[in-house]
Chain A
């Protein structure tokens, strides 16, 4: 459909759930209250690493109000989001692996009674050596945190060489090497995770949960509880923010289900804020080494990249996260030869996983700051350096990623022009500076979490004889506006108002599977499924309208809640009348649509991470001020341009861009998960006060540009916007700090302390830099040599 014929798509539409949200009517998981409901609480480990010798729950079970107590052996079957790392138990079975690891659970008639009972559970621990960092994990193979992985406390090792990186360095004029560190940080959704379970005597389990992935929770419940999936219903309640933090199946979801089965009563759990920090699954702390060969004009001849990830105590999405630290370096600028080696270590800290940008912000930070240094070394403007070597639309990268539309050039030009780059870069007075960075992100993972041939997204669509349409889809509303995307797309295809569309989402009994709200997949995948279902409904209706009005089918047009002859709009009926006509002639008008991403073009081991139906592109310029006396960095303004392919709802696109910039700003300046290494790996700041995140007083002004290069794989050309615009923010700020005061801060967050240290070094005539010194020795396997795509079968 051409842009000029679109009526709803692309406009700024009020979200269909906006009224419920501004009136407090949206029912989040903790808002659910059921008759005779019990309340669950979890006992958590005070040790970072210990064997559980004995648990005695008898005193707790005997307490007033306590209805059930569970320990690890009550739920002995392991689970985990990835089939290759089924390493979690709902409650620790024989070992605890971080401070906060759940050990036992109580259901009682009140939260207070449940909390008090936890104190009556007697646990005898045998403390083990705690592994505090990836470097420590490399040096300390025993005790092992898990008994799988290549060796010791190594979870995953990857080594891939695309096209022979060494030959590429041979043809370079300049070769540069840098080391970077990206601190771990967490999602911090305002809603604490909550879940309610209900069990009926006929053997049916219902779980309401603030989850982004009801389908995967469904599978985990069936596995651990040994129930038929057909007897389990998972309902994803609207998430009060998620950002990746609610995309693993969690022990507490399984625990309330088991407690409901044992007691025959509904059971609710709402995590405390401190517990949300222990659930974590946030950004992996990542150490990175990068070596790039370039010609004198700045074009890249070879890129060599190593990452070392602090995985925390469990696998989570970590194998995918590790691959992602090496997957997308190639999709912005042409990289003819590329090597990636990545390692993920187990440590005794809360598990890391996918946070907005999943594995990509860390390497993107490294690459974009590294390129800024190369540009300076070659005396080329950083914007020009990038514009000279953009990946062409429709090309295939050296690591076999198929690029569709590519609007990065336009994004760079927008922010360069809007920010007044030419009058500011290297021209502002000391203490003020600007920095540029770019990025790209997947629009949905090309492969599902578990191997299967089924669609990634399904939609059922029902037309009501009153003219309303209901869309049923397993997608999960996490605040990004996924329900509204479905309504807008159905309305566009059927020529009706989005507010005449009802959306039923995220309910495994009522809706076809959608894999979940992760990897920026929802708009493209559910959108395409919805287009397919709506087009089928339109075809059914059009057939009957054509015969009724005695016009050719291809002239039947749907718009403004009417169906009419394109050649003579006065030959018309209402949409409701058209549905009635179709229903009278062939019964209920209901259709389905589904979406499966294009087949992965490559077959090498590890090729499953990186392919996507479409790639979004972003560019940002940050302007900063740096106080030389205090090291305080302030960011007054960020200009950001994002190639979203096609905007489905402009207001929602703006919201995602601004929200991404905000979250990136927090990561750039202050957000960090920190632990007391010499005091048993206790979390230093598991609270909203001590874990610093930007308030209204730190948030910058943002100028946003929506760039539209429609992608053939997207619904109406749409690509993602939920994660991509976060990625350039951290490197843009770091590059701006250098422009302002001439010191390189090669790690985030860029705290005043680090800036001051770098400034002092500069004063002393030392390297004006703060960052990691080097990259430790890792026993890498021989790299898999992957031939370039043109030589690949």
Chain B
């Protein structure tokens, strides 16, 4: 089947990309299939699980529901662009440190949703974190290590020296 292709450009992780793709494709498909960035995952492709979350003009969106064509000239951020060269983003580092990534499949989406939250709210309450991440499902962690990782990263991003509480890693 030869679908009509469109060609367009957008900013992807800080770099301008030009890509040609079948006109019906979603941003998720363009990223994974046409640009080879498989860090963005999918759990339903129906907009139900949040696993495909990326940032579009700094706002978390479900890339399975966004047409690739709608991204022309816009700014897209994926997990591949989070690290500062070889240095992990504080969120990535905290997720790794606390075991907030178990199977790792939902992790890119949680990282991006959390990054968007921390841009708006550098010191979010636990309730705000829960609300901001309520659209993302995780079946491994029970979310608790994710909250704690977001809080740990937030403290470090505010310049506070922070390390995890002993009971976070070893129990009470």
Q: Which residues of A contact B (CB under 8 A)?
A: 12, 14-15, 17-28, 30-31, 33, 64-65, 109-110, 112-113, 116, 187-192, 238-243, 272-273, 418, 478-481, 650-655, 657-659, 661-663, 665, 687-689, 693, 695-697, 699, 701-706
Q: In the bound complex, what is the Cα–Cα distance between A783 and B93 (angstroms)?
A: 58
Closest CB in chain A relative to B1 CB, distance in Å: 5
Expressed in whole angstroms, the Cα–Cα distance for A154 and B171 within the complex equals 46
Q: Known pairs A22-B101, A696-B136. 9 more at Cβ < 8 A?
A: A30-B42, A241-B140, A480-B102, A654-B170, A659-B141, A688-B44, A688-B49, A689-B46, A696-B143
- Residue of A28, A116, A650, A689 touching B171 (CB-CB under 8 A): A650
Inter-subunit contact B134/A23 (CB<8 Å): no
Cβ of B138 under 8 Å from chain A: yes
Q: What is the minimal beta-carbon distance from B148 to any residue of chain A, in angstroms?
A: 10
Q: Does B57 contact A (CB under 8 A)?
A: no
- Closest A residue by C-beta to B111: A22
- When distances are taken between beta carbons in the complex, the residues of chain B under 8 Å from A273 are 43-46, 48-49
The distance in angstroms between the C-alpha atoms of A480 and B38, with both chains bound, is 22
CB pair B103–A238 under 8 Å, yes or no, is: yes
Known: A651-B99, A655-B99. A693 touches B104 (CB 8 A): no
The answer to whether B139 touches A663, judged by C-beta atoms less than 8 angstroms apart, is yes
CB pair A654 B99 closer than 8 Å: yes
- Evaluate whether A23 and B39 lie within 8 angstroms (CB atoms) in the complex, with A190-B139, A696-B133 already known: yes
Q: Which residues of A contact B7 (CB under 8 A)?
A: none
**Contact residue among B42, B96, B133 (Cβ-Cβ distance under 8 Å from A22):** B96
A18 touching B170, Cβ below 8 Å: no
Q: Is the CB of B142 within 8 A of A23?
A: no
Q: Are B88 and A23 in contact (CB under 8 A)?
A: yes
- B107 interface residue (CB < 8 Å to A): yes
**Which of B42, B142, B169 is the one whose CB lies under 8 Å from A699?**
B142
Partner of B39, one of A24, A188, A479, A481: A24
Contact assessment for A15 and B96 in the assembled complex, using a CB-CB cutoff below 8 Å: yes
Q: Across the interface, do B102 and A190 meet the contact criterion of CB distance under 8 Å?
A: no
List chain A residues, Cβ under 8 A from B42.
30, 192
Complex contacts, A695 vs chain B, CB 8 Å: 134-135, 137
A356: min CB distance to chain B, Å = 10
Is B103 touching A479 in the complex (CB atoms < 8 A)? yes
Are the C-beta atoms of B103 and A239 separated by less than 8 Å? yes
Q: Is the CB–CB distance between B101 and A190 below 8 Å?
A: no
Known interface pairs A113-B1, A688-B49; A243-B139 also in contact (CB < 8 Å): yes
CA distance A24 to B63 in the complex (A): 16
Judged by DSSP, the binding face of B is loop
Interface residues contributed by chain B, number (CB under 8 Å): 62
Task: Pick the 5 closest A-B CB pairs, nearest first.
Answer: A24-B39, A479-B103, A662-B142, A21-B104, A240-B105
Please tell me if the beta carbons of A702 and B105 are within 8 angstroms of each other in the complex.
no
> In the complex, are the beta carbons of B45 and A190 less than 8 A apart?
no
How far, in whole Å, are A418 and B120 apart by their CA atoms in the complex? 37
> A26-B104, A654-B99 known; A479 and B140 CB under 8 Å?
yes
> Knowing A21-B107, A188-B139, A190-B41 touch, does A15 contact B99 (C-beta < 8 A)?
yes
Does B53 have its Cβ within 8 Å of any Cβ on chain A? no
Determine if A687 and B48 form an interchain contact, defined as CB atoms under 8 angstroms apart.
yes
| A contact residues around B145 at 8 Å (CB) | 654-655, 658
Q: Would B79 and A687 count as touching, CB distance under 8 A?
A: no
Report the separation of the CA atoms of residues A20 and B96 in the bound assembly, to the nearest whole angstrom: 9
Say whether, besides A652-B99, A688-B43, A24 and B108 are in contact (CB < 8 Å): yes
Contact of A18 among B1, B78, B101 (CB under 8 A): B101
Which listed residue (A18, A239, A697) contacts B130, Cβ 8 A?
A: A697
Q: If A655-B145, A659-B140 touch, does A21 touch B43 (CB 8 Å cutoff)?
A: no
B168 close to chain A: CB less than 8 A: yes
A688 touches B48 (CB 8 A): yes
Q: Is B172 an interface residue (CB 8 A)?
A: yes
Complex CA distance for A658 and B139, rounded to whole angstroms: 11
Q: Does B95 count as interface, using CB distance less than 8 angstroms? A: yes
Instruction: Tell me, yes or no, whether B11 is within 8 Å of chain A by CB.
Output: no
Alpha-carbon distance between A480 and B171 when the two chains are bound, in angstroms: 18
Within 8 Å CB of B65, what residues of A? none
Bound CA–CA A418/B171 (angstroms): 12
Would you give 25 A-B contacts (Cβ < 8 Å), ordered by A? Answer: A14-B96, A18-B97, A19-B92, A20-B104, A22-B92, A24-B37, A30-B42, A109-B1, A110-B1, A113-B1, A189-B103, A191-B41, A191-B103, A241-B105, A272-B45, A273-B45, A479-B103, A652-B99, A658-B145, A665-B142, A689-B44, A689-B46, A697-B134, A704-B171, A706-B170
